[in-house]
């Protein structure tokens, strides 16, 4: 299959943007797969009401069949066509956070393919903020099921190039709207529990949610090893670069001392070593290692925005072992550390004190 790429300027949409969106929407209506930018990461879209189209998503990604998809809508009213009831708490969250990186899990009303929900009684719904995403969903005229547009297990794509690296030849097209802004996926919030429960931390922080709904709990699987997560996708290895990654905890100077030591040792064993740091931290490292600076430590949103591109850089550089600094788990730092822990398969060691 030839994958069409539509390059558009999302900041200054011209006639070619309208033409691209019409073509892409027509493909979605025909049951084909089209990747598109959202404010979080690129999504791989299919008509959520079409069984065969949804099945194609799982095939193209190599996604486990028991991992349900987020259904994307173009406007707030569309939610009522998907869920049995829109409770008061959902209304308040939507008023505050939609369009945006918040996905709500609610009992569905049987209007999307059971392949999208994996037969669960609930559906995950989100209204993205990206204008291209919204224009495409509106033009398609159907709710759009869209997981992140990566091969299963790989870091989510934050550029169209990442999408093509994983899925060229497997999907009908990709709308290239440039790099995404948030860089980590949406927050998945379960509203079927007495207290709203975060199943996956993401672009909307726990602190922001709590300001609107009061108490917010965390799925126990996010807190303790060995619990079965209620968000099926969370149990799989994710975001993993090819090289084995280890997180090194502690203040930046302590982490850097240990990382330098571990990196030098690994290099002597013949490994090609990658180091994940920040713009303001790269000066701490010496030697032949692949040092990838990602954002600035005083702006965790900038680190989150660059994380997946940084993980893919290590793959491009043929790195076999990666050491990464860690970050405070406040605000967007919670989502950032959640993705880093998964990419590292839970491997974490302390830094070296002076």
Q: What is the distance between the terminal CA atoms of the chain, rounded to a whole angstrom?
A: 57
Specify the stretch interacting with ligand TXA by CB under 6 A; choose among 163-171, 181-189, 293-301, 330-338: 181-189
Among 17, 50, 103, 277, binds ligand TXA (CB under 6 A): 103
Helices (H), the chain: 15-29, 51-61, 88-97, 114-117, 131-140, 160-167, 206-213, 220-223, 252-268, 300-316, 333-343
Q: Quick one: 240 or 259, whose CB is closer to ligand TXA?
A: 240
Binding-residue pattern over the window 123 to 162 for ligand TXA, x denoting contact by CB under 6 A: xx-x-x-----------------xxx--------------
User: Shortest approach of ligand TXA to residue 40 CB, angstroms?
Assistant: 3
Q: Does 234 bind ligand TXA (CB under 6 A)?
A: yes
Between residue 9 and residue 48, which ones bind ligand TXA under the rule CB under 6 A?
38, 40-41, 43
Q: Does 338 bind ligand TXA (CB under 6 A)?
A: no
The backbone torsions φ and ψ at residue 188, rounded to the nearest 5 degrees and listed phi first, read -100, 120
Cβ(188)–Cβ(124) below 8 Å: yes
Binding-residue pattern over the window 147 to 186 for Mg ion, x denoting contact by CB under 5 A: -x--------------------------------------
Residue nearest to ligand TXA (CB): 233
Cβ(127)–Cβ(81) below 8 Å: no
Specify the stretch interacting with Mg ion by CB under 5 A; choose among 69-77, 131-139, 141-149, 333-341: 141-149
Specify the stretch interacting with ligand TXA by CB under 6 A; choose among 2-10, 87-95, 225-233, 324-332: 225-233
Cβ(294)–Cβ(307) below 8 Å: yes
Q: Quick one: 167 or 259, whose CB is closer to ligand TXA?
A: 167
Residue 83 DSSP class: B
- Using only C-alpha atoms, the chain has a radius of gyration, in whole angstroms, of 20
Cα–Cα distance measured from residue 275 to residue 269, given in angstroms and rounded to the nearest whole number: 16
Cα–Cα distance measured from residue 41 to residue 305, given in angstroms and rounded to the nearest whole number: 9
Specify the stretch interacting with ligand TXA by CB under 6 A; choose among 18-26, 228-236, 275-283, 303-311: 228-236
User: Shortest approach of ligand TXA to residue 13 CB, angstroms?
Assistant: 20
Q: Which does 232 bind (CB under 5 to 8 A by kind): Mg ion, ligand TXA, none?
A: ligand TXA
Cα–Cα distance measured from residue 187 to residue 196, given in angstroms and rounded to the nearest whole number: 12
Query: How many other CB atoms are there within 10 angstroms of residue 52's CB atom?
Result: 11
Return the residue matching tokens 């990566």.
150
Contacts of 91 (CB under 8 A, 6+ apart): none
List contacts with ligand TXA (CB under 6 A): 38, 40-41, 43, 67-70, 101, 103, 105, 117, 120, 122-124, 126, 128, 146-148, 185-186, 188, 199-200, 231-234
């Amino acid at each position: 299959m030839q994958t069409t790429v539509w390059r558009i300027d999302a900041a200054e949409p011209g006639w070619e943007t309208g033409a691209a969106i019409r073509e892409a929407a027509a493909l979605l209506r025909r049951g084909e797969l089209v990747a598109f930018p959202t404010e979080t990461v690129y999504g791989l879209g299919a008509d959520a009401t079409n069984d065969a189209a949804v099945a194609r998503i799982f095939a193209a990604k190599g996604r486990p069949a028991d991992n349900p998809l987020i259904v994307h809508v173009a406007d707030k009213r569309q939610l009522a066509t998907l869920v049995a009831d829109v409770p008061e708490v959902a209304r308040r969250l939507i008023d505050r956070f939609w369009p945006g990186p918040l996905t709500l899990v609610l009992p569905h009303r049987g209007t999307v393919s059971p392949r999208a929900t994996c037969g669960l009684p609930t559906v995950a719904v989100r209204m993205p903020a990206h204008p291209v995403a919204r224009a495409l969903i509106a033009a398609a005229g159907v709710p759009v099921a869209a997981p992140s547009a990566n091969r299963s297990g790989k870091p989510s794509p934050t550029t169209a190039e990442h999408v093509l690296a994983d899925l060229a030849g497997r999907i009908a097209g990709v709308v290239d709207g440039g790099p995404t802004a948030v860089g980590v996926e949406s927050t998945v919030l379960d509203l079927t529990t007495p207290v709203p429960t975060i199943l996956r931390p993401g672009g909307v922080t726990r602190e922001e949610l709590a300001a609107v709904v009061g108490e917010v709990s965390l799925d126990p699987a996010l807190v303790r090893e060995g619990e079965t997560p209620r968000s099926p996708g969370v149990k799989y290895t994710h975001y993993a670069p090819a090289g084995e990654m280890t997180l090194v905890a502690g203040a930046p100077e302590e982490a850097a001392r240990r990382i330098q030591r571990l990196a030098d040792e690994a290099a002597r064993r013949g490994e090609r070593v990658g180091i994940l740091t920040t713009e303001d931290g790269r000066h701490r490292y010496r030697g032949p290692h692949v040092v990838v600076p990602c954002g600035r430590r005083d702006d965790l949103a900038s680190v989150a925005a660059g994380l997946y591109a940084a993980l893919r850089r290590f793959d491009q550089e043929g790195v076999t072992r990666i050491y990464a600094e860690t970050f405070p788990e406040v605000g967007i730092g919670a989502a950032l550390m959640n993705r880093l822990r998964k990419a590292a398969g839970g491997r974490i060691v302390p830094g070296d004190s002076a």
